[in-house]
Amino acid sequence: MSDAVPSAEEHSGAPVASAPQRHVVFSHGQASGPWGRKITALAEVARGEGYEVHSVDYRGLDAPRERIARLAEYCKELSGELVLAGSSLGGYVTVASASVLHARGVFLMAPALYFPDLPPLRSGIVDCATAVVHGWGDQVVPCEHSVRFAQGSRATLHLLDSDHNLHNQIRYIQNLFEYFLIALDLPAPGRE
C-alpha cells in the first residue's frame, strides 16, 4: 500500500501540525499506478483545500473485490471526513465502497461501471455528493455508462472533449475537483 506523499515540512524536519481530520483517498485504474498524472495533479488541489492525501496501491490486484477490500482496510485507519476519488476501475472501487466507508463525497473520472465482468452495483449505492468526469472519445469505457450512472444517482456530470485517460483536460479537471471540494463545505440548498 502506498501512503501519503510527504509534505515539504515533513521532508525538512520542521514540526508538523496535528493530523488533518479531512482526507482524500484516490483509487487508480487497472493500467496505472497510485501516483499517475491525474492523481498527482488532483492531490495538489486537495492539499490546497486542507485535505490529507492518500493513494492506495492496487498493483497486482486484478479482482475488483480484492481492491474493494484493500480500500476498506486502508481507510479504517483514517478518522475524520473522507472524500473518495477514483479513475477507471478505481472509479468502480470507489462507488462500491462509498456508502460502507461513509464517504462525504465521491469524485469519479471515466469510471468503469456496468461491465458484465464486474460484480453488479446495487441501485442508489452512493449516498453522498458525487461528481463524474468522462471523455466523449473514451474508447475503453463508453461515456454512456457515466451518463447512466449520473442519471440514476443524480450526480453532477461533466463530459469533456477527451479520451479515457483525460490527460488533455487535467487542468480543467483540477478546477472541477477544487470546486467539488469547496462545495462540500457550502450549506445544502434550502438550508441556509
Residue 185 in domain = no
Mean pLDDT taken over the chain: 90
How would residue 20 be classed by pLDDT, with cut points 50, 70 and 90? low
**Nearest CA among 186, 74, 73, 174 for reference residue 129:** 186
Name the domain count of the chain. Answer: 1
Domain that holds residue 101: 21-180
Three-state DSSP at 111 gives: coil
Residue 6 in domain = no
The dihedral region occupied by 141, where left means phi > 0, alpha psi between -120 and 50, and beta the remainder, is: beta
pLDDT on residue 8: 43
Tens digit of each residue's pLDDT (9 = 90 or more) over 113-169: 999 999 998 888 899 999 999 999 999 999 999 999 999 999 999 999 999 999 999
Residue 4 in domain = no
What angle (nearest 5°) sits at the alpha carbon of residue 67, between those of residues 26 and 108?
A: 40
Residue 8 in domain = no
CATH number, domain of 59, equals 3.40.50.1820
Q: Are 26 and 4 in contact (CB under 8 A)?
A: no
| 66-91 average pLDDT score | 96
Residue 30 in domain = yes
Residue 77 in domain = yes
